[in-house]
Amino acid sequence: MEAVSPAIRPALIWTQRTGHLDRVRLSFGSVTSPKSNRKRIRRKIELSARAEKNVSATATATQSIDYSDPDWKNKYQDEFEARFRIPHIADVLTDAVSYPSTFCLRMRTPESPDFLESYPSDDEWHGYVNTNDRVLLKVIHYSSPTSAGAECIDPGCTWVEQWVHRAGPRERIYFKPEEVKAAIVTCGGLCPGLNDVIRQIVITLEIYGVKKIVGIPFGYRGFSDRSLDEMPLSRKVVQNIHLSGGSLLGVSRGGPTVSEIVDSIQERGINMFFVLGGNGTHAGANAIHEECCKRRLKVAVVGVPKTIDNDILLMDKTFGFDTAVEEAQRAIYAAYIEAHSAYRGIGIVKLMGRSSGFIAMQASLASGQIDICLIPEVPFKLHGPQGVLNHLKYLLETKGSAVVCVAEGAGQDLLQKTNATDASGNTILGDIGVHIQLETKKFFKGIGFPADVKYIDPTYMIRACRANASDAILSTVFGQNAVHGAFAGYSGITVGLCNTHYVYVPIPEVIVQPRVIDPNSRMWHRCLTSTRQPDFI
């Protein structure tokens, strides 16, 4: 697997003194003595070195570029273009035949069942996307590696164009609709917008002329559990499912082996497979795509990125995220009212975010009521003069109350490791919210400083919500573009939103690692400006 693109890496800064790529984090907070500052800087370097292990392959790939070669930029662009070329069924089935598209918005019902001449039209329809259309992945030209959030490839921060494929309907398709059997599966946990995606996949498939559409119940598990039957899907079945949360098809983690899944796909006669899920689910979808290629099966495997945490690489955002941020406001407001109404009240809200703190950060910015935001990407200490608890004491003394927002994956180094994993292979996290609640109560009781601590965990209430307007639109377009991609003959791809445009991306490029917040980014700086919190290390 190729290294992660510099456009999607954590901020990597070229240090002239060492000639190496270092990860830099800015510090915020009160002025400290030189001695204390040196200790904190040393601590930051240690933490940065630890974090650098996660991107070592990236740094190695970047360092392998020979910048003395005058043609290095063109070579880099060629390598990037090769990596982001989207797989096509014609790569394996060289005799694959294309047909005129049966998708045309001038007429939404086929004139005849055999689709030989596409839809009739008085003139050419200009609603198709050209196969060579591209979307620019990186739009900021950083002039210096020291600029906030800078993503640089070389020491001079050279501008290098990086393009990905534009999504949408193509003029030529590689499947006859009457021969298609399409299947949809939803994996992992619940997320607002799942039903919206399912609904729109079904509706778009029917516009192409597909008659056989099924849902696989309860994730990949539905391929091996004989007690679970396929669910026939049609516009009539899915018409109103977007009005409620959850998934019509159900969700689960884990499942049978890749070989067993592909065996089942063959037995069922499925040749279009739509997979809704996060990083782990996409890794499974890519393995299914590769197994289908190995067996020379004409099956289009297309992913739709579903993660409420918004932690998929390359994506502006994934569906469910906006709803999560909006619903989190209710919990934050409740915590604020409880804290503000109590004598020396403290409200603690735990939000989702295993590896990435996007929900906690955006919810904190949106509410304007958060005093401390804790995320997985930024280490912190609870105890000590620079710790969270000491700052809470300061807030109670000066404001009379405080509200803390913490992502579920934050501060895991403060908790005892279980080494346990769930069915998807994810590490089972310790409950940082409860830990902070207990430590806060213990701290204030120990110093004889009365404090009223309230803890709110709205996780499952948020996951079960119906998608808001923003996520409903995103889910709808993702579902449409997934179908367009499958009919165009692409497989092993996922749909996404990059720089406000909808794109197709090879699955391997989005599953390298979770997308995380860069502590040197402008958005995190904005959050710190809003909360006015110091460093807690």
Give binding residues for Mg(2+) as ranges.
279
Q: Are 499 and 163 a contacting pair, CB within 8 Å?
A: no
Query: Of 153, 167, 5, which Cα lies nearest the Cα of 81?
Result: 5
Rounded Cα–Cα distance for residues 370 and 364 (Å)? 6
User: Pairing state of beta strands 401-407 and 345-351?
Assistant: parallel
Q: Are 204 and 244 a contacting pair, CB within 8 Å?
A: no
Query: Of 281, 320, 318, 263, which Cα lies nearest the Cα of 185?
Result: 281
- Is 123 one of the annotated active-site residues of the chain? no
Binding residues for ATP: 189, 253-254, 278-281
Q: Are 311 and 357 a contacting pair, CB within 8 Å?
A: no
- Burial zone of 483 (CB within 10 Å; 0-12 exposed, 13-18 middle, 19+ buried): buried
Binding residues: 189, 253-254, 278-281, 307-309, 352-354, 408, 460-463
The H or E element that residue 5 is part of is: none
Query: Of 141, 159, 155, 6, which Cα lies nearest the Cα of 66?
Result: 155
Find how far residue 102's CA is from the centre of its chain. Answer: 32
Q: Which amino acid is at 173?
A: I
Residue 427 is given by DSSP the state: B
Q: For the chain, give me the number of helices (H) and strands (E)?
A: 14, 17
Owner of token pair 């799942």: 194
Cα pseudo-dihedral 290, 293, 297, 300, rounded to 10: 60
Of 196, 309, 322, 535, catalytic:
309
Q: How many CB atoms lie within 10 A of CB 55?
A: 21
| Longest alpha-carbon distance in the chain | 83
Owner of token pair 């405080």: 402
Cα pseudo-dihedral 88, 94, 95, 97, rounded to 10: 20
- Burial zone of 98 (CB within 10 Å; 0-12 exposed, 13-18 middle, 19+ buried): middle
Catalytic center residues: 309
